[in-house]
Amino acid sequence: MPVARLAFLGSPEAAVPPLRALVGAGHEVRLVVSQPDKRRGRGAGLVPSPVKSAALDARLLVTDRLDDVLDSGAELGVVVAFGRLVPERVLERVPMLNAHFSLLPRWRGAAPIERAILAGDRSTGVCVMRLEAGLDTGPLLAMRREPIYNAQREHASALTQRLSSLAAQMLVEVLAGGVASLGPGKTQVGEVTYAAKIEPDELRLDFTKTVRELERVVRLDRAWTIFRGERLRVLDAAGRKRRGPGSRGTRDLTAARAGPTEEIPGTLNGTRVQASDGMLELMIVQPAGRRAQNAEEWLRGARPAPGERLGETPAQD
């Protein structure tokens, strides 16, 4: 198999399998570019990105300066979840491929997996494209579709792992014939949508919304609400829609004769929280400054009063 001289650009854990796959396939990774080291928590020292750690373990040269690619001797760059735009002046001298976690042109941008889950998409995938100065606009060299397991409440972390493994496989396949074998790619076809970065307020659970909407936010793995003035992370939860009049079944978790207090969005009823069209059953939560725990365990310690609600910010004295 022809060996490609590569520069690899990536930062999070999702980019580690593609890096390892390219090294394992025998390609020469001349340089790895990753985000600068960051502090993780108060008083903590600087911590390298997952890609930088993996690169150092593999004894690869690492930098956080994009311009270093120009003097690396790489004939091609490979970008996976790098987190920064590559300037045109670099692309003019070193062509690059990008493995993007969506079915382009749907969900161009920073948060394609999260936006696909929030939108209730039934499938997503991975595209390998030629990188352009525009935001995920390049021609496609390969595309693979993957289902999103909405019925099983698949979380973003699990979906990311699956797409990361798929991206690793696709990059090795695309480069199997070496850089010289790469074609021009095919123009993206379809409706363009953009996957803007997820803002903190989008992760706050709004219990006036439907249980399906709430469940999708929880599946992003960073959902939160307020309980007694402190942040409570909701790491897993299951939505149960209210059934119509006369319906029966143990899965109906809404009290059949709930009074006005119980029907206020955010009201706790055991581990269940009132939403606009049913109940969100808490499964795993994490109170501020404490470990993640089963919702029943949290409930035993918290002992909510009748009618107490999640999401309320206490009034200021």
Confidence of residue 91 (pLDDT cuts 50, 70, 90): very high
State whether 43 and 139 are in the same domain: yes
Q: What's the rounded mean pLDDT across residues 63-69?
A: 97
Residue 240 lies in a domain: yes
- Indicate whether 209 pLDDT > 90: yes
Please give the model's pTM, rounded to 2 decimal places: 0.90
By percentage, how much of the chain surpasses pLDDT 70?
A: 91
Segments forming the whole domain that contains residue 272: 200-302
3-class state of residue 96 by DSSP: strand
State whether 184 and 245 are in the same domain: no
- Indicate whether 247 pLDDT > 70: no
Residue 90 lies in a domain: yes
Q: What is the pLDDT of residues 141-194, one digit of tens each?
A: 999 999 999 999 999 999 999 999 999 999 999 999 999 999 999 999 999 999
State whether 100 and 239 are in the same domain: no
Confidence of residue 251 (pLDDT cuts 50, 70, 90): very low
User: Which residue type is seen at 65?
Assistant: R
Residue 309 lies in a domain: no
| CATH number of the domain enclosing 228 | 3.10.25.10
Confidence of residue 241 (pLDDT cuts 50, 70, 90): confident
- Indicate whether 45 pLDDT > 90: no
Domains in the chain, number: 2
- Indicate whether 248 pLDDT > 80: no
Torsion of CA 87, 92, 94, 99, to 10 degrees: 60
Residue 263 lies in a domain: yes
Residue 25 lies in a domain: yes
State whether 171 and 217 are in the same domain: no
Task: List, in sequence order, the alpha helices (H) in the chain.
Answer: 16-24, 50-57, 88-91, 112-118, 156-174, 211-218, 295-302
Q: What's the rounded mean pLDDT across residues 93-122?
A: 98
Predicted pLDDT of residue 54? 98
Q: Which of 180, 164, 184 is nearest to 10 (CA)?
A: 164
| CATH number of the domain enclosing 55 | 3.40.50.170
Residue 115 lies in a domain: yes
Last residue of a domain, one of 142, 160, 195: 195
Predicted pLDDT of residue 258? 42
- The C-alpha atoms of residue 76 and residue 28 are separated, in whole angstroms, by 11
- Indicate whether 253 pLDDT > 50: no
